[in-house]
Structure 1
Amino acid sequence: MGRQGQRWPVWILLLGLSVSVSGITRQELFPFGRNAGDQSLHEGNDQTHEITLDKPITFYDGQFNKIYINTNGFVALEKPTEETEYLGNMPASFGMIAALQGDLDTSDGVGKVFFRQDSSPAFLQQAADHINRAFLRMTW
């Protein structure tokens, strides 16, 4: 009978992954709000704002000159459909990048969704650093 390879218990693997993943501190967040030059979405439920980009972005095989920011925690590459058409029906029929998807209703004046374009080298480097930290570099 051939010897099977050694198997690592799942809990050891999960423990190892949880130890190697770190979050960011409050000081490492991007500055935000009106003082940082941000705009904010209008108060309400399912609010969307169209942004014309200074430079087009490439996403998969398409180039886009506009993006749409929504109170439901996503960026879209096409104008989003009504909320009732996509909630619970994923993937959405439009190009949705669901970064922080959650159904936020700001009609009561509580909470804001801030956004801005920024292509300064320092901002881009900070974004790249956060992205690199989010993806584990696994070595086996």
Structure 2
Amino acid sequence: MKPSVAVLLLVAGAVRNVAPARGDEPLLYPYGPDQHDHKTPKLDDGSSKNLPISTPFTFYGKIHRSLYVNNNGVISFGSRVNQYTPDPFPLADGRSFVAPYWGDVDNVLGGEVFYRETTEPALLSRITKDINRYFPTIPYTAKWAFVATWDHVAYYGSTSSKGNTFQAALTTDTKTSFIILNYDQIQWASGTASGGDPETGLGGTPAHAGFNSGNEKDFYNIPGSRTDAIINITKTSNVNVPGRWVFQVNEFKVTGVPTEEPQIPKDTDCWL
């Protein structure tokens, strides 16, 4: 169990509806109050309530009609994920979830966690364009999407102003499902309860990115997960867009390899 945090040391980051442009369009899909997003509670290790979704989402052969957005960088099916120190995949307990950046987020200290489901035509058109570019042999027109964004979120025990901004978009045409993971700014990898340094947010057991199907055999660990190199996930990709990873998830498929190998930062002596 974590010790209580007596003093709030960070100021929440400013809400942004789009991230800085990468190439011809922003990396992140629009989010925030202007998009009528909901927010998870300001609660360490908290989550949304169980959220019914209007269009069933197939994740490795299982059809899901609800989900949770967890503050610690996870979208889960069936149950909340309050755990703050990530375990390696595959998990043996049958939990089924997407982990855009599973680490010890503390949005009490800073940042917001936004989410919404949508059938808004402009966004679905943009998602369709992206999927068609990355998977040209799969006919696909997005009918539904769920977008969750962790906006400049702090880490537990932080004594710095560092924040991470990343996003997960789930989308389906009712038959084929995809997950798009976007990493705009990653400045920390671990909270103090996971052994991290309170000033740098590094060391200990770093964050984990990928997904776990729950069947103990279908899973994926994005390179660098649970190592110091995860801090550079904004530079890697499986679709040749730095900071973006995209997966077909209605059945087990993994596409591509990193366009750039993650590197462990040089200044590591203060983490040990």
TM-score (norm 2): 0.37
The percentage of aligned residue pairs carrying the same residue is 23
Distance 1:25 1:111, change over 3 A: farther
Matched, 1:100 2:204: no
Unaligned runs of 5+ in 1: 1-22
User: Which residue of structure 1 lines up, in the alignment, with residue 61 of structure 2?
Assistant: 61
Do 2:52 and 2:65's aligned partners in 1 also have CA atoms closer than 8 Å? yes
Distance 1:126 1:77, change over 3 A: same
Q: State the one-letter code of the partner of 1:41.
A: T
Q: Which has the higher contact order (CA 8 A, sep 6+)?
A: 1
Distance 1:104 1:40 in 2: 14
Distance 1:60 1:130 in 2: 21
User: Which residue of structure 1 lines up, in the alignment, with residue 80 of structure 2?
Assistant: 80
Offset of residue 76 of structure 1? 0.7
Q: Within 5 Å, give how 1:94-133 maps onto structure 2.
A: 94-108=95-109, 110-131=110-131, 132-133=133-134
Offset of residue 62 of structure 1? 0.9
Aligned residues: 114
Matched, 1:36 2:35: yes
Distance 1:34 1:100, change over 3 A: same
Q: Which structure has the bigger radius of gyration?
A: 1
Do 2:45 and 2:106's aligned partners in 1 also have CA atoms closer than 8 Å? yes
TM-score (norm 1): 0.66
Q: State the one-letter code of the partner of 1:135.
A: V
Distance 1:71 1:88, change over 3 A: same
Offset of residue 60 of structure 1? 1.4
Deviation digits for residues 1-59 of structure 1 (CA, Å, limit 9, x no counterpart): xxxxxxxxxxxxxxxxxxxxxx8369523221112110111012211112110111111
**Equivalent in 21, 24, 46 of residue 22 of structure 2:** 24
Offset of residue 77 of structure 1? 1.2
Offset of residue 125 of structure 1? 2.6
Q: CA RMSD in A?
A: 2.8
Offset of residue 102 of structure 1? 2.9
Q: State the one-letter code of the partner of 1:31.
A: P
Offset of residue 68 of structure 1? 0.8
Q: State the one-letter code of the partner of 1:124.
A: L
Distance 1:113 1:90, change over 3 A: same
